[in-house]
Structure 1
Amino acid sequence: MKKILLLLLFCTFSLQAQIIKNYKETPLQQVLNELSESYDLIFSFSNETVKNKIITLVIKDTPLDEILITLKTLTNLNFKKISDRQVIVSSENNQIEVCGYLFDASTNSPLPYATITIESSKVGTITNDDGFFQLGMIDKNESISIQYVGYKTKILDAASFTTSTCSRIPLLTESTSLGEVLIVEYITTGIDKNIDGSLTISNDELGILPGQSEPDIFQSVQLIPGINSPDETASGIQIRGGSPDQNLVLWDNIKMYNTGHFFGMFSAFNPNVIKSAKIFKGGADPKYGDRVSGVIDISSEGEVPEKFNGGAGINGTHGDMFIKVPVGKALGLVLSGRRSYTDSFETPTYKALSEKVFQNTKIAENPNQIPTEEDEEEEDEESIAKNNFFFYDTSAKLIIDASDNDKILISGILTDNNLTFEVNNEEDLITDDLEIKNKGGSISWQGTKMNNLHHHLKAYYSMFDSDYLFTERQELEIEERSVRKNTVKDIGADFNITYDLDSKNSFMLGYQFSSTDVVYTVTREGEFENPIDESDNVKNKANTLYANYKFSPKNKSFINLGIRSSSYSVVDKVYIEPRANIEHPITRFLRIKATGELRYQPISQLVEFEDTQLRLENNLWIHANENIPVLESTQFSGGILFSKKGWNFEIDGYYKNIDGLTSITSGFNTINSELSTGESEILGVDVLLKKKVKNFRTWVGYTFNDVKYTFPEIQRGSFSGNNDITHNFRISNTYTINNWEFSLGWLWRSGAPFTGANLINEEIVFENANANRLPEYHRMDISAIYRFNISTSGSWRGQLGASIQNIYNRQVPIAVSYQLDDNITTGDLELEKLQQKSLGITPNAVFRIYF
């Protein structure tokens, strides 16, 4: 019996493995492309090498080695296997062995895990722990690209490599050696760990991530332990227990006050022109101020383009286009634009997102509808609802290489979200208009003098404008009207100089000035409503001096000591902020680290509940005043980091105390309660374990967070904070094969706390603050990307992507609020519990071209 089974298995395998091909007068390139699929191979060749090669070939379960010998005879080309899956195709007398050792030009240290790519085919390898790489025999006309994060990219002709020995190739850092990258591929390609503890996301190198068919910086950072978004949005990022408004977000040095499109579902920044983003969870340089939580510093393209190039794409919600134009050798221009088409066409992606965004609002309650025949007799009462929503953003950047050591950058950005909702029953017309804008510009001049003196002068302008108008008209007469406006005008400048005492020590001194004008207006008037008329206009001028000392010896220790002194006119007080960030290697693979800092924030967001017509974007930016104190954050962290042979393990514990919080926030206070102040105390642990095996990467992230609020005027003793997500676990996987990339991830976290409530004497009476918990949250995401060449030269490329968020469509409440409402049947006043449910199954697809 066993022999029969073995025979059947052998026959089945033989049938599956049999390959039969018959090529007659067929282009060689087509033959190689088909053979690569049949034999699971990668053929590396230049287009010139195989150009005009026509062959006739018959394959009938022929061994691969025999096929290669036949191809060599037919074409007079060399076919050399440099691995089990890669074959180099080159001309008979025009090939060379390419191998080398990469090292730091200043420290002579080897550079492991650098990317080595053959330009024409985009096939390549990475360096090992000793900085060694080998491509084998390739065409002498090929160009070799060498890339390493933190270093200048080097392009070499294959002919420049020596034939007798492997070349030693030095790489120069982009800036000084103090800013070098500590770990390349900290999580996946394009997410790297810097020696100062920050993380850099390089958009050009960012690999596929779960649930993303194209990159989104704000979604990507949520894969890092300690960073999450309990409301599932891109703009709702909370870093180590802080709220989103406590994060400093910069776009080319412009302070951004609105960071999301589609009410936060994805970021307001076009990823195709983002060069990199630097993220600090803690231990930030003293040049970053006015916020008490994390820092997200986004930079767009900063180098003059070598040639005209660009791209365009479309996905389930919007389309976009960008171009990079070299105006001259020293002048370049980068332009980009995105716009949604949701006001014209609704895709499954838009429907899934809008179901989440507009739930518990009048938009969800009054979908687009047309009167039916049976309702024609009551057409006076029939309402037709129209929802017109769209968003767009645009950016421009001028890059000027003023000299070999001086660069001038001029940037501008505009983001806009526009919603018009209208209900018309012929007699009454009810409209909601909501528009949220953030625009800004910046200019930056940075340069180096005498090799060790660096200067940086920058200035920016930012304007945030949120404008909501509700109007109810009866026969053209206004019966009720509500207005909510919030404007922030921010103008600032920063000048700093850095002096390198030697290769290990540097000292920076800087000055910042900013003038921030904040205006808000909340009004409501109607026949049966209590009128509201509240407004405020406050200008704050801030003057800041800061200094920083960095020590970075050759053993890759790192000591960063800084201090920041700021005076705010709005409170007429000076605030001192010491900063410390220390890392030290115990062994070559193990490091210890610690940070400590004191930070202040003079502007923050309140949640306005008196007028909640749409319950969208109710947050108001407001300055500190006699009732609202300046936020003060004291935070410490410490941990260890291990990295060796594709393994990364990090554990980081932290403590954060934020004083000056206000009670005007969702979850634990009544709508009309007096404003009270309190503090939060946060204890947390971030854990990351990552392993890379060839083209497969897997990483596990876990965060423990204990957030306690203390508001004596609300409740005796402390209680769970609104963002107390105690446990947050995520596992992510990516796999690359040929032109395909796949990713699968699963997220699980504890449910958020919420406050129960009851209706007593026609008033909402709240129970103990945040004493209840919502159900646990989990979802699975998947994505895939296929990249291909459109033109034979590779100058036109394409990309297809698809993703699904929440594959198994599990929806649970992630937030709870309450409102009073009249019962339609009885007219009695009732307490309505509004549950904000999580995102349902959300598919998306993208098609892109690059030229």
Structure 2
Amino acid sequence: MNKTLLCLVFYIVSIAFCNLTFCQEPSGEKPLAQILLKLEATYDVKFSFETKTIEGILIRPLPDELSLKQVLNHLNSITHLSFEMLNSRFIAITQKEIEEPVSQIQRLEEVVITNYLTKGISKTNNGTIKTNTKAFDILPGLIEPDVLQIVQNLPGIMSVDERISNINVRGGTNDQNLILYEGIRMYQSGHFFGLISAFNPYLSEDITISKNGTSAKFGNAVSSTITIKNSDKIDKNRSGGLGGNMLSVDGFAKVPLSEKTELQVSARRSFTDILVSKTYDAYFDRIFSDSELNTSTPTNTLLAQDERFLFYDFNARFLYDISSTSKFRINVINISNDLDYSQVFTTTDNNFQETKSELNQTSYGGSVSYSKLLNQDLNLSAQVYFSNYDLDAKNNNISNNQLLTQENKVEDFGFLFDASKIVNESINFNLGYQFNEVGVTNFEDVTNPDYTSFVKEIIRTHALFGEVEWYSISRDTYIRLGSRISYFGKLSEFLIEPRFTVNYKFLDYFRLEVLGELKSQSITQIIDLQQDFFGIEKRRWQLANGNDVPLITSEQTSIGLSYNKNNLLVSVEGYYKGVHNITARSQGFQNQFQFTEDIGHYTVSGIDFLINKRFNDFSTWLSYTYSKNDYKFNQLHNGKSFPNTIDLRHVFNTSLTYNRDKFKIGIGFNWHSGRPFTPPKDLQDNSNFTIEYNAPNSSRLSDYFRTDISAIYKFKPSKGISAEVEASIWNIFNQTNIVNRYYTFDSDNNILDIKNKSLKLTPNLSFRMNF
């Protein structure tokens, strides 16, 4: 708890320091964002805009005696923006430029909180959180706008083992998240087996996260929804960028082909198969330290080891504005991780033996979409997508004289039709139909003893969805009501899933938010034995079959209250979440339930708290989450509840960032209580060649504590070229944190205590040029 107090003291001192030193208002120009906040309070109005629209605009403070009309006329004259009164209270801010080739229909989404944690992160009235990577400022430990690292800074979202591929949203497992890249469902989200986001941050522009109250348009996932989109605007000029860090190099380009077409491409490749850095060493130790790559047996001595690891990703997007009312888009994505390694051993008879193994993880997908605007208030759109995920492994286990070959493959094809109708400025309807076919193949071949298995399953799903959005005339109240009706063909199951969102503003600076949803999921991950896929990637996708793997369902509700005034945001949100029909094999038990098959559920109840204060160039925030996450299975633990494997009761984060002209720096502290594990009753007792365990998840790991720092410096080496130098240190104090603990046998049947350690001190350095 001393570390918790340290974080709290740091936060209090940060606020006091900023108040004493930096709270005096400058006499010169101020960011337009600050001016708008003051105008909203003075004239009781609300400005609606995209964050990037006002980015970088500085103006002098306006005289207090001006009327609202005079203020808007003045702003119209001194900026390149248009300020339009939609009604007595609502003002829209847009760019002053020639009308876009496609006058895309606008839904009733409104940003209600800007700079939610830092610049570029905002919250909307429908409960979603949006991140604009182009306007993104800085977060401690990050030097690049890594999509899935950013979301882990939000209250209620984290990874219990630091892996991108294991994001836990309000107690849910990673496979319960829906991740869509331009409408393509992604079954692989990380590089370096989970430590780095697989989505290039310099082409991805808008990320939307929904923890609850999800739009009825999205289905087949019982936890969160994360959508990733690239720029949808055809630029007149070419642009691009090149960069690299201590793991990889990357580049992107936007190339207008004509007035109506544009090509966007990005690529990234690691150089870890050629050059090894300190960052690579830290990542390699984190992933492979407890795998077969770092082990020897008493009868075999490891003489040499040679590993070759690389990752790459590629994205391309083609934009075609057919006319002023219709557009056509094509997207493709390819992601890959490849590991090949060989080992040379001496055997008991002093001979040499060499083994070669490999692990390849690949995803590719594509989507084609078309939209048409009719009568200025009706928009029709259609999309077809395909997603393929393939995990291949060949593991040569010398200790057991065994060759294991495995493949896990997912093929996902889908079609979506969507119609949106604006009735008036207060009401919008949305209706649609979605068809989805998912096939999962699992292949396994083992020698000594010889065994082969090949299983392929398919589920086809039909879904109708609809919702209505409504604004009060004063724009203080927003309501979205919707429902999704799904039919799962193979399972012969029919589900109705209502969703709702209510957002109410009162007393000028307070907002009440109530969210709720029912959801379902037909695909999940099972977790194999400890050494499958070298102990690195043990997860395999599997479809529901209506028997031992049922259809997962969930319900969630939350209520939140926020206060936002004078650059001070305080919010608190309580929630309840229940997820049913989970299987024991999907939970990663590493205790007496490791080989047990059973069906059960987990329930989570918790509170998310956030306070954020901005002082001119400084921003500081503190978040705290308390949650209680418990299992209950039909047979396990005699049907009694016990803590979830990823239950973290207390999570505390605090950060201070500084942004001044060309220089940015941020420092942050991260603390959470330890996750549960199950210790043996006696580490020395292996007489029955089994481990006798205590009650499941009855003990907890030590508290986790980490401090990160990052800095960015921007400059212009020449006309038309901008550059950035970025540096970061993850776990700056090199704190040893245990993120998982389990027990197994060695080759002599002695009980081993395995402790998975978090990333140690990990530096990174990046240089980028944009043109």
Band of TM-score, shorter chain: 0.7 to 0.9
Does residue 799 in structure 1 map to residue 738 in structure 2? no
Q: Following TM superposition, by how much is the alpha carbon of 1:100 offset from its aligned partner in structure 2, in angstroms? A: 11
Does residue 600 in structure 1 map to residue 524 in structure 2? no
Does residue 447 in structure 1 map to residue 372 in structure 2? yes
Q: How does 1:74-89 map to 2 (within 5 A)?
A: none
Partner of residue 615 from structure 2, selected from 693, 698, 703: 693
Q: Distance in 1 between matches of 2:367 and 2:658?
A: 39
Q: Distance in 2 between matches of 1:479 and 1:669?
A: 26
Match of 1:541 in 2: 460
Give the secondary-structure state (helix, strand or coil) at the position aligned to 1:383.
Answer: strand
Match of 2:688 in 1: 761
Match of 1:814 in 2: 739
Match of 2:58 in 1: 124
Judged with a 3 Å threshold, the aligned counterparts in structure 2 of structure 1 residues 205 and 173 are, in CA distance, closer, same or farther, namely: farther
Match of 2:534 in 1: 614
Q: How does 1:197-212 map to 2 (within 5 A)?
A: 197-212=127-142
Judged with a 3 Å threshold, the aligned counterparts in structure 2 of structure 1 residues 289 and 112 are, in CA distance, closer, same or farther, namely: closer
Q: Distance in 1 between matches of 2:139 and 2:83?
A: 21
Q: Following TM superposition, by how much is the alpha carbon of 1:402 offset from its aligned partner in structure 2, in angstroms? A: 1.3
Q: Following TM superposition, by how much is the alpha carbon of 1:224 offset from its aligned partner in structure 2, in angstroms? A: 0.7
Judged with a 3 Å threshold, the aligned counterparts in structure 2 of structure 1 residues 587 and 672 are, in CA distance, closer, same or farther, namely: closer
Q: Following TM superposition, by how much is the alpha carbon of 1:86 offset from its aligned partner in structure 2, in angstroms? A: 6.8
Q: Following TM superposition, by how much is the alpha carbon of 1:596 offset from its aligned partner in structure 2, in angstroms? A: 1.7
Does residue 513 in structure 1 map to residue 406 in structure 2? no
Does residue 663 in structure 1 map to residue 584 in structure 2? yes
Q: Distance in 2 between matches of 1:219 and 1:151?
A: 32
CA contact (8 A) 2:737 2:757 kept: yes
CA contact (8 A) 2:652 2:671 kept: yes
Task: Tell me the amino acid that sits aligned with residue 111 of structure 1.
Answer: F
Give the secondary-structure state (helix, strand or coil) at the position aligned to 1:356.
Answer: helix
Partner of residue 252 from structure 1, selected from 182, 197, 204: 182
Match of 1:353 in 2: 283
CA contact (8 A) 2:51 2:120 kept: no
Partner of residue 263 from structure 1, selected from 190, 193, 209: 193
CA contact (8 A) 1:787 1:799 kept: yes
Could you list the runs of 5+ residues in structure 2 that have no partner in the other structure? 1-24, 85-90, 346-350
Match of 1:370 in 2: none
Match of 1:635 in 2: 556
Q: Following TM superposition, by how much is the alpha carbon of 1:534 offset from its aligned partner in structure 2, in angstroms? A: 3.6
Partner of residue 755 from structure 2, selected from 819, 828, 835: 835
Q: Following TM superposition, by how much is the alpha carbon of 1:112 offset from its aligned partner in structure 2, in angstroms? A: 8.2
Does residue 749 in structure 1 map to residue 666 in structure 2? no
Equivalent residue pairs, number: 711
Q: How does 1:451-600 map to 2 (within 5 A)?
A: 451-471=376-396, 480-526=402-448, 530-553=449-472, 554-600=474-520
Match of 2:660 in 1: 737
CA contact (8 A) 2:243 2:249 kept: yes
Does residue 111 in structure 1 map to residue 47 in structure 2? yes
Q: What is the root-mean-square deviation in Å for CA atoms of aligned residues?
A: 3.2
Q: Distance in 1 between matches of 2:733 and 2:69?
A: 44
Match of 1:13 in 2: none
Q: Following TM superposition, by how much is the alpha carbon of 1:259 offset from its aligned partner in structure 2, in angstroms? A: 0.2
CA contact (8 A) 1:489 1:516 kept: yes
Match of 2:7 in 1: none
CA contact (8 A) 2:315 2:333 kept: yes
Q: How does 1:287-306 map to 2 (within 5 A)?
A: 287-306=217-236
CA contact (8 A) 1:396 1:412 kept: yes
**Structure of higher CA gyration radius:** 1
Q: Distance in 2 between matches of 1:509 and 1:633?
A: 23
Judged with a 3 Å threshold, the aligned counterparts in structure 2 of structure 1 residues 456 and 613 are, in CA distance, closer, same or farther, namely: closer
Judged with a 3 Å threshold, the aligned counterparts in structure 2 of structure 1 residues 761 and 115 are, in CA distance, closer, same or farther, namely: closer
Task: Tell me the amino acid that sits aligned with residue 127 of structure 2.
Answer: G
CA contact (8 A) 1:100 1:133 kept: no
Task: Tell me the amino acid that sits aligned with residue 457 of structure 2.
Answer: V
Cα deviations across residues 777-832 of structure 1 (Å, max 9, x unaligned)? Answer: 011100000000111x3x1110000000111111121101222112xxxxx42111
Partner of residue 714 from structure 1, selected from 636, 639, 645: 636
Judged with a 3 Å threshold, the aligned counterparts in structure 2 of structure 1 residues 217 and 598 are, in CA distance, closer, same or farther, namely: same
Match of 1:375 in 2: none
Q: Following TM superposition, by how much is the alpha carbon of 1:587 offset from its aligned partner in structure 2, in angstroms? A: 2.2
Match of 2:95 in 1: 154
Q: Distance in 2 between matches of 1:730 and 1:133?
A: 40
Cα deviations across residues 230-250 of structure 1 (Å, max 9, x unaligned)? Answer: 111122111111110000000
Could you list the runs of 5+ residues in structure 1 that have no partner in the other structure? 1-81, 88-98, 158-171, 367-379, 823-827
- Could you state the TM-score of these two structures normalised by the residue count of structure 2? 0.87
CA contact (8 A) 2:368 2:384 kept: yes
Match of 1:309 in 2: 239
Give the secondary-structure state (helix, strand or coil) at the position aligned to 1:829.
Answer: coil
Judged with a 3 Å threshold, the aligned counterparts in structure 2 of structure 1 residues 151 and 830 are, in CA distance, closer, same or farther, namely: farther
Judged with a 3 Å threshold, the aligned counterparts in structure 2 of structure 1 residues 760 and 252 are, in CA distance, closer, same or farther, namely: farther
CA contact (8 A) 1:116 1:147 kept: no
Partner of residue 702 from structure 2, selected from 775, 781, 786: 775
Q: Distance in 2 between matches of 1:101 and 1:813?
A: 44
Task: Tell me the amino acid that sits aligned with residue 819 of structure 1.
Answer: T
Q: Following TM superposition, by how much is the alpha carbon of 1:535 offset from its aligned partner in structure 2, in angstroms? A: 3.4
CA contact (8 A) 2:49 2:94 kept: no
Task: Tell me the amino acid that sits aligned with residue 654 of structure 1.
Answer: Y
CA contact (8 A) 1:784 1:803 kept: yes
Q: Following TM superposition, by how much is the alpha carbon of 1:447 offset from its aligned partner in structure 2, in angstroms? A: 2.8
Q: Following TM superposition, by how much is the alpha carbon of 1:762 offset from its aligned partner in structure 2, in angstroms? A: 0.7
Task: Tell me the amino acid that sits aligned with residue 796 of structure 1.
Answer: I
Task: Tell me the amino acid that sits aligned with residue 307 of structure 1.
Answer: N
Judged with a 3 Å threshold, the aligned counterparts in structure 2 of structure 1 residues 686 and 125 are, in CA distance, closer, same or farther, namely: farther
Q: Distance in 2 between matches of 1:101 and 1:646?
A: 8
Match of 1:224 in 2: 154
CA contact (8 A) 2:138 2:666 kept: yes
CA contact (8 A) 2:107 2:428 kept: no
Q: Distance in 2 between matches of 1:356 and 1:552?
A: 50
Task: Tell me the amino acid that sits aligned with residue 666 of structure 1.
Answer: G
Partner of residue 650 from structure 2, selected from 727, 743, 763: 727
Match of 2:88 in 1: none
Judged with a 3 Å threshold, the aligned counterparts in structure 2 of structure 1 residues 690 and 830 are, in CA distance, closer, same or farther, namely: same
Cα deviations across residues 440-478 of structure 1 (Å, max 9, x unaligned)? Answer: 00011123211111112111000000011113689xxx9
Q: Distance in 2 between matches of 1:131 and 1:345?
A: 62
Match of 2:573 in 1: 652
Judged with a 3 Å threshold, the aligned counterparts in structure 2 of structure 1 residues 337 and 125 are, in CA distance, closer, same or farther, namely: farther
Judged with a 3 Å threshold, the aligned counterparts in structure 2 of structure 1 residues 108 and 274 are, in CA distance, closer, same or farther, namely: farther
Identity %: 30
Give the secondary-structure state (helix, strand or coil) at the position aligned to 1:222.
Answer: helix
Judged with a 3 Å threshold, the aligned counterparts in structure 2 of structure 1 residues 108 and 756 are, in CA distance, closer, same or farther, namely: closer
CA contact (8 A) 1:116 1:126 kept: no
Q: Following TM superposition, by how much is the alpha carbon of 1:629 offset from its aligned partner in structure 2, in angstroms? A: 0.9
- Could you state the TM-score of these two structures normalised by the residue count of structure 1? 0.79
Cα deviations across residues 347-384 of structure 1 (Å, max 9, x unaligned)? Answer: 11111111111111122347xxxxxxxxxxxxx96632
* 412-421 or 298-307: bigger deviation: 298-307
Does residue 328 in structure 1 map to residue 238 in structure 2? no
CA contact (8 A) 2:311 2:336 kept: yes
Q: Distance in 1 between matches of 2:402 and 2:643?
A: 39
CA contact (8 A) 2:51 2:135 kept: no
CA contact (8 A) 2:53 2:95 kept: no
